[in-house]
Amino acid sequence: MMKKHLNKHVLIITALTVALVVIYGIYRDYRPEISLLFDLTPHNQVILLHLIRSHGLATMVLLLLLIAIFNAIPGMSNSVICIFAGLCYGPWVGFLINWLGNILGNCAVMSLIREVDISKRTKKSKILTYLLHQKHPLIGLTIGYMIPVIPSALVNYAGARLNLSRGRFLTTVAIGMAPTSFIYAFGGDAIFRGDSKRLIGAVVAIVMILLGYVVVRKIVDRSKVAHEAA
């Protein structure tokens, strides 16, 4: 008897609906700031900067939830929300919001990944093949989570195929999601402070991570050529 899978499209539509509700909640919290943006006099700018960092736990939870949802939806990026978290709460609290949100999103995907029918394109992905045939798979998965261009759903699927224990999965996700979570929060704080040096540093760090993706792709391509030659 064939296993009945969850409908991937229904899950995505449900997640997007919840995301819209959360976005509306955040919009309501930030309505005064949005009004000031349309009349940004020097006096209003001072008020705006004060208001942005006066939000409490409720908004923090909404941002964390939105980061988790966007992380879990294939093809979506939560980078703008992560930068916004850093802008609103500073580098350290922003980092915690980003980090916990990304961990929560990956946990949600991992809990459902075996119940969803994975596309043939995903199963034949060269990056997936590379992740599954690593000498040290935990290191490979950690690097996969670190590089935002690599879809987290793909890395989670690799983790499911490797039958990672819950402890190893959480360790891998926690370490892998830490660098970008901090860089985005750091960048958001740099925007808030108008610190061009910090902002340039954050941009350089993101570029280095993207270059890491290019290196991984080249290694993947070389591995495939060597495997076919063998």
3-class SS at 116? Answer: strand
- The pLDDT of residue 1 is 43
Calpha distance 101→69 (Å, rounded):
8
Locate all alpha helices (DSSP H) within 79-195, ordered by sequence. 79-112, 120-123, 126-132, 137-146, 152-161, 166-193
- Give the global pTM: 0.87
The two three-digit tokens of residue 138, written as one number: 């935990």
Calpha distance 90→192 (Å, rounded):
8
Mean pLDDT by 10 residues, the chain (230 residues): 71 95 94 83 81 88 96 91 92 94 96 86 84 85 89 91 92 93 91 81 79 72 59
- The pLDDT of residue 2 is 46
Is residue 98 within 8 A of residue 189, CB to CB? The reply is: no
Q: What is the CA radius of gyration of the chain?
A: 20
Cβ-based neighbours of 68, under 8 Å, separated by 6 or more? 101, 102, 104, 105, 108
Is residue 188 within 8 A of residue 92, CB to CB? The reply is: no
